[in-house]
Chains A and B, each alone.
Chain A
Amino acid sequence: KQEVTQIPAALSVPEGENLVLNCSFTDSAIYNLQWFRQDPGKGLTSLLLIQSSQREQTSGRLNASLDKSSGRSTLYIAASQPGDSATYLCAGTTTSGTYKYIFGTGTRLKVLA
C-alpha cells in the first residue's frame, strides 16, 4: 500500500529564509506528482504539477523536483514570506493509470514577520 510521508511535519522560520519541504513515497512508482497549499479551513490550491515525463517544475519562488528512482520529491521555497504560511501537501498518482492521488501527511509552515 502506497504511503506518503512529509518531513518536517511542522516548521516555523523567520521571514526571508529559503526552505526545503520533503515528500517520500513508499512505492517509487509515481506517475504524476503535485504540490498543494491549504490554508486553515480552506480547500486546496495547486502549486506545481510534475507530469509523468517531467522531473522538475518552477513557478516564481517555488521549485519542485521529483526523483522517481527513490520516490522522493522536494519543494523549495525561496525568500519565504508570512503569506507563505499554510499547510503544504504533496500528492502522487501511481503508474496504474487510475490517476488516484495519494496524499502526504502535510507540512505546517509558519513564516514569522
Chain B
Amino acid sequence: GAVVSQHPSRVICKSGTSVKIECRSLDFQATTMFWYRQFPKQSLMLMATSNEGSKATYEQGVEKDKFLINHASLTLSTLTVTSAHPEDSSFYICSARDDGPYQETQYFGPGTRLLVL
C-alpha cells in the first residue's frame, strides 16, 4: 500500500526554538495533505489542510503564524512549530490524499513526537 513518512520521528527541543517536521508521500502524488495533533490520552485534532502551491487552511483556534506550513511539491509538506513552548509538546501526525484514481483514500504517517523542554 501507499506509504507516508514523517521525519523526524521524535524531537526534543528547548523552549523558544523552532522545529520543522516533514511529511512525504513516498509512492504517490498528494496535492492535499493534512496535519493533526494528538495530546496524551486524547484523540487526533485536525490543525490544518496543506495545499500544494497555495496557502494552507487552518482550523479554528490554530495560530497560522505559529504553525507554518509549506507544501512546495506534490510529495512534501512541512510543518514548522515556531518559538515552541512546553504546551506545544504533542504527537503530530500528517496524512496525504492520493491524487490518483483512489482520491478517496488518505494515508497517514507514523507521527512525530515533539517534546519541548
Contact = CB atoms under 8 A, between A and B. Distances in A.
Do most interface residues of chain B lie in helix, strand or loop, or is the interface mixed? strand
Interface in A6-40: 31-32, 34, 36
B105 A43 contact: no
A89 B108 contact: no
A42 B44 CA distance: 13
Contact of A89 (B32, B44, B103, B106): B44
Contacts of B78: none
Contacts of A44: 44, 93, 108, 111
Interface in B85-110: 93, 95, 97, 103-110
Given A44-B93, A52-B104, A103 B111 contact: no
Contacts of B46: 100-103
Interface residues of A, number: 23
Nearest to A31: B104
A43 B106 contact: no
Interface in A79-103: 89, 91, 98-103
A103 B43 CA distance: 7
Contacts of A52: 104
B108 A46 contact: yes
Q: Can you list the 10 inter-chain pairs with the closest CB atoms, starting with the nearest?
A: A43-B110, A43-B111, A103-B44, A103-B43, A44-B108, A51-B104, A106-B43, A105-B43, A32-B104, A99-B97
